[in-house]
Structure 1
């Protein structure tokens, strides 16, 4: 069965090899097919440091419901691009210099644990197929990035290419804002007529939802700003990127992307406190505990107060977190098949931490938090290791701020489809840069197996 130019609401579209609304449906537009073939060939042909950019371009311009079904297995075009990446890495043996880091092992454990628990929870072959596809997406994207972006120069080249891509993207967002029509609707999966919230048009481009479009670019902004310390050309790219990101975020008219920008600014300012982050972390924890004790409502009720644009659903997000805490026993071991009975509308799980719990239980949620914690530790090692190089120091701190932004985004939304790409990029880029520094100066850092702390040479602060 082939469905062309279809329009559906995909907010709750399934993931993996078996999406719910698009299950067993091949949905191909000639332009989408041409894009995946051309970008796939480019990915195989270009130098390694440019090879990840075609995947990023595919995410920006082609709807995620463009796909080919083979024996009931869904291969969306982004997944096909990952296959091109795997083919390239194997054929060119670009995995030979791979250096394992703690985050590599944790992300594998997180993915495997989430898959096993979800399959046990659902108890169906369909669930197994679904999660195998999702696992391929996660591990495929992550390790493709790890193998292709190995050094600071590779990261810088990708950032410049993605900024140039963003310049083209805002042309389409500007057209969408002016006409009220989304040209990417020809691919299916996104509405032809824009969403409206309290009189404001909400642009989304080729993304599943305006929030996803805004957070996709907002999560990259700290790294773009870090280019300011890369010389005259770097300053130009940083300014261009800021215009691109802020235009897209405000065109989306959503609170979560705006709060992502604000958290990015706060994270950047915290650079002056970089040698006192342990004190900062403890201060934040103590402040939250104090607020919880003095507030009439629980401290997570603060989520309901967050609203950067009119019509925000902060109270719904608070209710979701509150319901998850109150129903902890229900999902702690094997997750839960449905959250619809928690309260009206609770089936729309717009919180990444809650989503990890209800899909994979407390263990999967714990592994996700451990992955974030390990990544922050890698950033701590990174900025100390490159503290004598201003440009690398800026990018190292930018990676940490990107991770902070993702932590905030996870409170206001769930990572599905294309938004997962930038999350995995952040994890992989942090780990790759740490591996590069380890290879350059293996004597600089020791992983203490007894307590999982990093011991860094005092000469690097």
Structure 2
């Protein structure tokens, strides 16, 4: 649904927007509660963090000028995020399930990539037949920027960039699927003709290459922090203004992204508690779709606008905890289950691409699903049942499930005797 249906597909019931993706999430939630499929779900630390993040988003509505309207808007954000996360947690309970999901998505992206190539060549978006996206794609500096079913070419290319490391993570066991998925992902990045996805691909690649120096990441992190402090001392402008000098595809708006960060800090008193309903004065220009807001091209700042510093910091802590789970899972599985260790690292590289992309992009369409799918996938590797079983012995992939079932059957037969 995320890859083939534009976000605008759905129905409107008064102030409520039931997009196709939301209807699918709703159907999934009804199913798991009617069938009781949520029972026996292996717990992960990310489960509670997702719940707290959702509560922060909803609670922020009470402090806004129009609590009812804000609650509806924030409720939609929470429903998309938490609903997606819950469905993936229920239906993907083992590392094998996550690997299978990524294999499926790798093939699902192939038609999207082919359509985006056609869009570049013919200057016509086939997904416009479904509504929700324009038939004629955007053209910047003579380059056609394909967007497929997504709301913007940057988001389409970003989806390809964040899926690239996951596809490469399949290399050891599903080589052909890994090649097909990687080619489809790279094609989406190139067809989008945007600097953002190219940078996301670069960071995803860096994340994968860090696998070879994974035992020195602490030193690397502190080195980068010291480097940033050094740049703060020697540069006249804040170091994040270096974003404005990056232009890989032509026509980049890096200055806007850097100035937006500075402006948000200047107006911190307006949004730190529970967000704000007005950001138009943050920038010298606004956006056509809202007279009250500037173009918030930063996912972290978008969290701040929606729910203030509490929501933003909770969002950052959620991502940081996911990185921590990746590191711990890799450390306990790299000897007993090297395939799972590298695939978990690939999930971390995908999340790294998300985290760096958030500095210049705010997800405002169905592409947000890929973020919470990644976090839910990492939660599987962080479940105590998986980590503890890996520490006990060198089991083959999914072997802990076999042992668990065998022990249960043996206990039942003993009781019967």
**1:427 partnered with 2:375:** yes
- 1:250 deviates by 0.8
Equivalent residue number for residue 167 of structure 1: 110
Alignment counterpart, residue 211 of structure 1, candidates 132, 147, 154: 154
Q: Which residue of 1 aligns with 2:291?
A: none
State how far apart, in whole Å, the 2-side matches of 1:148 and 1:158 are: 10
Indicate if the aligned counterparts of 1:356 and 1:365 stay in contact, CA closer than 8 A: yes
Q: Any idea what the Cα deviations from partners look like across 1:207-238, whole Å, max 9, x if unmatched?
A: 100011111121111111111122xxx22122
Counterpart-to-counterpart distance in 1, 2:306 and 2:74 = 10
Say which SS state the counterpart of residue 196 (structure 1) adopts.
strand
Which of residues 317, 324, 331 in structure 1 aligns to 2:271? 331
In the alignment, which of 221, 230, 237 is matched to residue 281 of structure 1?
A: 221
Aligned to 1:300: 240
Distance in structure 2 (CA, Å) of the matches to 1:283 and 1:348: 33
TM-score scaled by structure 2? 0.88
Write out the 4+ residue segments of structure 1 that deviate beyond 6 Å after TM superposition: none
Aligned-CA RMSD value: 1.6
Residues 124 and 64 (structure 1), Cα distance of their counterparts in 2 relative to 1, 3 Å cut:
same
Equivalent-residue separation in structure 2 for 1:60 and 1:419 (angstroms): 8
Where does residue 398 of structure 1 map in the other structure?
A: 346
Equivalent pair of 1:66/1:77 in contact (CA under 8 Å): yes
Match of 2:328 in 1: 381
Q: Quick one: higher RCO (CA 8 Å, sep 6+), 1 or 2? A: 2
Change in CA separation of 1:154 and 1:310 when aligned onto 2, cut-off 3 Å: same
Q: 219-228 or 183-192: which moved more? A: 183-192
1:191 equivalent to 2:134? Answer yes
CA deviation profile, 1:90-142 (whole Å, cap 9, x unmatched): 23322112122221111111121122214422324222222222211111111
Question: How far, CA to CA, are the matches of 2:23 and 2:251 in structure 1?
Answer: 37
Over 3 Å counting, the alpha-carbon distance change for 1:119 and 1:209 in structure 2 is farther
How many residues align? The count is 384
CA offset at residue 439 of structure 1? 5.9
Offset, 1:345: 2.8
Q: Is the 8 A contact 2:243 2:254 kept in 1?
A: yes
Shift of 1:187: 2.3
Match of residue 322 from structure 1: 262
Name structure 2 gaps, 5 residues minimum.
287-293, 394-417
Q: What is the rounded CA distance, in whole Å, between the counterparts of 1:178 and 1:238 in structure 2?
A: 26
Aligned match of 1:85: 28
**Residue 58 of structure 2 corresponds to which residue in structure 1?**
115
> Which runs of 5 or more residues in structure 1 are unaligned?
1-57, 445-461
